[in-house]
Structure 1
Amino acid sequence: MRRSRNPMRILISWFKRQPPKVKSFLAVVAGIFTLVFIRFVVQDHDNLFVAAEAIHSIGIIVLIYKLTKEKTCTGLSLKSQELTALFLAVRLYCSVVMEYDIHTLLDTATLLTTAWVIYMIRYKLKATYVSDLDNFPIYFMVIPCAVLALLIHPTTSHHIVNRLLWAFCVYLEAVSVLPQLRVMQNTKVVEPFTSHYVFALGVARFLSCAHWIIQVLDSRGYLLTALGHGLWPSMVLLSEVVQTFILADFCYYYVKSVVEGQSVMRLPSGVV
């Protein structure tokens, strides 16, 4: 008797055969459909932010397990963690002096956890860290983000220094995962705990992006004008979208690996 094929495998197999332009179009359509679905199914859209933070926390827990139980930091990018700590520290400062709220507490917890991860990689598990694979130059991200912050930043009534720092952390957050993706591209084979962590990060950023876009739609654009004038509101939205699309390819290959029952994830050339 012939065994029935997994519908998800059939769909992924069909998707793989499509040309790049068709894949991009289908990905955009799927993203729009998902946003529409979420907007009408989720009654309280603030729950999207809660879900994003919860999934991000799960990813961090997986990372902590890897470092404490597996006693290895193989496959992790120290540079991505340092960039994460940098934008979190800047955002935490801005949050304290500009709008102290629940985000301040969440960022404090995430910053402390990230600092612990950096400490583990730098000192406790240094022997398992392969610096040659973590070769994405940090200044390729920090300098452009700083220049962009000087050119495009909020036009609110806050002090100019605070507005520049606010813009800098928004731009840096959007690209902070690039060194991690480079490490995985260099190794080609991604072990489970690292792939789980990055996938959780991707899902969390998608939900955060969805929350932001839906909030703009629900407020009929008022949220954009509340952020200031000029190009800044558009750049905030663009940064949210960029964060999501940077991880889109990885999330696709992660789902593909799970569907195919692979214990480790293999990345083809050109994902990053």
Structure 2
Amino acid sequence: MGSEKKLRSPLLWVKRQSIRVKVVLGVLASIAALVFLKIAVVNHNYMFIASEAIHTIGIIILIYKLQRKKSCAGLSLRSQELTALFLIARLYCSVIMEHNIHTILDFLTLITTAWVIYMIRFKLKSTYMEDLDTLRIYYVFVPCAILALIIQPTNTHHVINRTLWAFCVYLESVSVLPQLRIMQNAKVVEPFTANYVFALGVARFLNCAHWILQLYDDSGSLLRYVQYGRWAIMVCVSEVVQTFVLADFCYYYVKSVIQGQTMVRLPSGVV
């Protein structure tokens, strides 16, 4: 009981702080985590593999929910469709450019995502909260497509391949927005959906850490590397955005777990 109070007291202290202080604490915590990963993980490419593996685990959690509960309540069909879109683009680019473990992981993730979409659209359509899934796909899809046409890698690959690669990077960073919107509208997130979104948050952070540390390792100076063209800057921005988009939810998720709550309750304005 005493240990539980010790765990809660830091959360209560954080809760009482201003938004500015919370942001500073979040940035400091992220820097500390990056330093730890820099020291603890010898090959930083493993973090990218771990990110994709955790994403797949998150989808497996969804599959378990759909099979056991026979309900897709709380899940965003639009987020799953956006996820499938960026995975298709990334899988194509991976086949053309890489041919490695990432190709296999992307393929597995795409198959499981397609299955989730099928279940929501057809098998469990009666439980789909369409009235809460209000963020239209084109609000996310169109800006990413336009940005990919303007800012893309400057390498020897065909312009179509470069554009698709940029598109999947941008779309991945914001694909979770419809899921966050439906949770904000519902205010209460049931355990399976919460576990899935938390897994996405962990995967996004590891992915972001991989890129930042990889840029540092390859160049000896992250700042010098980022100055090499707009594409490098946009990659870093996209990775940071997709991490912090989920940071607030992950805070409330951890808080709920520590307090022994099965449901994650979100206050207004979290997303």
**Structure 1 length normalisation: TM-score?**
0.94
The corresponding residue for 1:190 is 189
CA shift, 1:52, in A, is 2.0
Partner of 2:127: 128
The 8 Å contact of residues 227 and 233 in structure 2, kept in 1 or not, is answered as no
Q: Which amino acid aligns with 2:72?
A: C
The reply on whether 1:218 has 2:217 as its aligned counterpart is: yes
Distance (whole Å) between structure 1 residues aligned to residue 2 and residue 48 of structure 2: 42
Distance across 2 between alignment mates of 1:124 and 1:76: 14
Q: Counterpart of 1:247 in 2: which secondary structure?
A: helix
Q: In structure 1, what residue type is equivalent to 2:180? A: L
Q: Cα 1:90–1:223, aligned 2, differ >3 Å: closer, same or farther?
A: farther
SS in 1 for 2:219: coil
Aligned length: 271
Contact 2:212 2:222 (8 Å CA) reproduced: no
Percent identity between matched residues is 65
Partner of 2:116: 117
Alpha-carbon offset, residue 224 of structure 1 = 9.7
- What's the offset of the Cα at 1:18? 0.4
Gaps of 5+ in 1: none
Which stretch of the first structure deviates more once superposed, 120-129 or 159-168?
Answer: 159-168
Tell me, yes or no, if structure 1 residue 39 matches structure 2 residue 38.
Answer: yes
Matched-pair contact (CA < 8 Å) for 2:4–2:258? no
Q: Which moved more, 1:140-149 or 1:92-101?
A: 92-101
Q: Give the match for residue 76 of structure 2.
A: 77
- Please state if 1:50 is matched with 2:49: yes
Written as runs of structure 1 = structure 2, the 5 A alignment for 1:164-179 is 164-179=163-178
Call closer, same or farther: CA 1:195–1:72 in 2, change over 3 Å: same
Counterparts of 1:239-258 in structure 2, within 5 Å, are: 239-258=238-257
- Gaps of at least 5 residues in structure 2 are none
User: 2:161 aligns to what SS in structure 1?
Assistant: helix
Q: Which residue of 1 aligns with 2:157?
A: 158
C-alpha separation in 2, matches of 1:249 and 1:106: 27
CA separation in 2, counterparts of 1:247 and 1:7?
A: 26
| Secondary structure in structure 2 of the residue aligned to 1:75 | coil
2-structure distance, mates of 1:155, 1:3: 57
* 2:29 is aligned with 1:30: yes
CA separation in 1, counterparts of 2:3 and 2:158? 64
- Contact between 1:156 and 1:227, CA under 8 Å: does it hold in 2? no
Distance 2:243 2:127 in 1: 30
Report the AA paired with residue 201 of structure 1: L
Relative to structure 1, is the Cα distance of residues 88 and 227 closer, same or farther in structure 2, using a 3 angstrom cutoff? farther
Q: Deviations over 1:9-68 (max 9, x none)?
A: 100000000010011011001100110111112233233223323322321221110011
Mapping of residues 140-151 of structure 1, within 5 Å: 140-151=139-150
Q: For residues 218 and 127 of structure 1, do their structure 2 counterparts lie closer, same or farther at Cα, with a shift above 3 Å needed? A: same
Partner residue in 1 for 2:136 = 137
- In structure 1, what is the Cα distance between the partners aligned to 2:157 and 2:151? 15
Which amino acid is 1:89 matched to?
I
Match of 1:92 in 2: 91
CA 1:4–1:97: 2 relative to 1, 3 Å: closer
- Aligned in 2, Cα 1:74/1:43: closer, same or farther, shift over 3 Å? same
Between 1:146-155 and 1:214-223, the stretch displaced more is 214-223
* TM superposition shift of 1:94: 1.3
Higher mean C-alpha deviation, range 241-250 or range 229-238: 229-238
Alpha-carbon distance, 1:225 to partner: 9.1
Contact residue 49 and residue 102 of structure 2 kept, 8 A? no
> In structure 1, what residue type is equivalent to 2:172?
E
Give the structure 2 partner of residue 67 of structure 1.
66
